Amino acid sequence: MRFADRTVVVTGASRGLGRHLAIAFAREGAFVGIGYRVRGEDAESTLALCREAGGDGALLAFDVADRAAVNDALARFGENRGGIDVLVNNAGINRDDFFAIGAPTDWDTVVDVNLTGTYNCSRAVVGGMLARRRGSIVNVASVAALRSSIGQTAYASSKAGVIGFSRALARELAGKGVRVNAVVPGFIDSGMAARLDWSRKKQATDAIPIGRFGTPEDVAAAVLFLASDDARYVLGHALVVDGGLSL
């Protein structure tokens, strides 16, 4: 019960990896703020599963790319809970396309959600964490930041930015009671990767030394470690969870 009496926010938690992260925190006693943008029914299902796992939570509806909405939602949630102990910036999207023909608006959208959204949510909680001299931020990046893939210039750039942001912010907050780290998943059998067609899944699996896609639980174990006091001496780290894909 590493997170008993702790308040955790997970963005993009209505489904996929985010849902599994929220449940994993709840299982260890956390009160989880379930961030989502439009999938209200899915978010309700995540909340129900968190309660079944032994924790509790509340729904937080906001677009991570909307700075004013982020500030309002997280300020109100933090006030109601007496502060936010852990933030997991998990919300993310991709708009894969060839660079020469891809729409510039797709670039803007991907960067706004994946990178600026990480900035917005972190900025909204870091003041309170500094005031209490306690807090942990874990940012979900991607192996795409480390291993090139055709059609992913926007996605790879945004996730590489998340890693750089995590390291720089960790250095800035070092010694102030707030730790920042990143987790770098590879192909995970949930969310974006789960929607690949059979041939692309086969090709991806063949490239993974361990011979399988990861599970959400594989990533959750890494996120919970980085967020917990077990990692009290770990900061600015990008923990790769990819079955050896980036080797």
**CA atoms of 207 and 243, how far apart (whole Å):** 10
- Please name the amino acid found at residue 219: V
Query: Which tokens hold the place of 227?
Result: 């967020």
| Other CB atoms within 10 A of residue 104 CB | 8
**Roughly how many angstroms between the first and final C-alpha of the chain, as a whole number?**
34
CB 31 within 8 A of CB 51: no
Annotated active-site residue in 36, 119, 155, 233: 155
The structure tokens listed for 234 are 């770990």
In the residue annotation, 233 being an active-site residue is answered as no
Determine whether 66 is exposed, middle or buried from the number of CB atoms within 10 Å of its CB (0-12, 13-18, 19+): middle
DSSP state of 84: -
Distance, in Å, from the CA atom of 59 to the CA atom of 50, rounded to the nearest integer, reads: 11
Task: State the Cα–Cα distance between residues 141 and 184, nearest whole angstrom.
Answer: 5
Rounded to whole angstroms, the Cα distance separating 33 from 47 reads 9
- Give Cα 207 distance to the centre of its chain: 24
159 membership: H or E segment, kind and range? helix 153-173
Active-site residues, by number, are 155
